[in-house]
Amino acid sequence: GESVGLHLPTLSVQEGDNSIINCAYSNSASDYFIWYKQESGKGPQFIIDIRSNMDKRQGQRVTVLLNKTVKHLSLQIAATQPGDSAVYFCAENISGGSYIPTFGRGTSLIVHP
């Protein structure tokens, strides 16, 4: 079946560097994408979302890029901080679906001070 996946299970960066977390999706009907952050022992927390009619969306220190041609999205975190260490999930919604997103497996971001 079609699913949301991630390229890298673990990403290690130095404090202050920029981080890029990638996500691939295979369903061309997906039109809404969300990034979540999950800290150890907690539930996922919404970071940012993007619709398929957009290529880029910026938040506070985060930017999501969507490339519909290759069905790829990325989450960029500027000036990564130790508090950014967590597992990051991308999730997709499909037009006409249930508004309940499908989650990928997650990428663990480790920030070294």
Q: Where do contacts with other proteins occur on this chain (CB under 8 A)?
A: 4, 9, 32, 34, 41-46, 49, 51, 89, 93, 98-106
Q: DSSP readout, 38-71?
A: E-TTS--EEEEEEETT-SEEE-SSEEEEEETTTT
CB of 16 to other proteins, least distance (A): 29
Report the residue number, 54 or 79, with the smaller CB distance to other proteins: 54
CB of 103 to other proteins, least distance (A): 4
At 84, is the secondary structure helix, strand, or coil?
A: helix
Residue 46 vs residues 17, 39, 50, 70: alpha-carbon distances, Å: 22, 12, 12, 24
Report the residue number, 37 or 77, with the smaller CB distance to other proteins: 37
Report the residue number, 44 or 77, with the smaller CB distance to other proteins: 44
CB of 77 to other proteins, least distance (A): 18
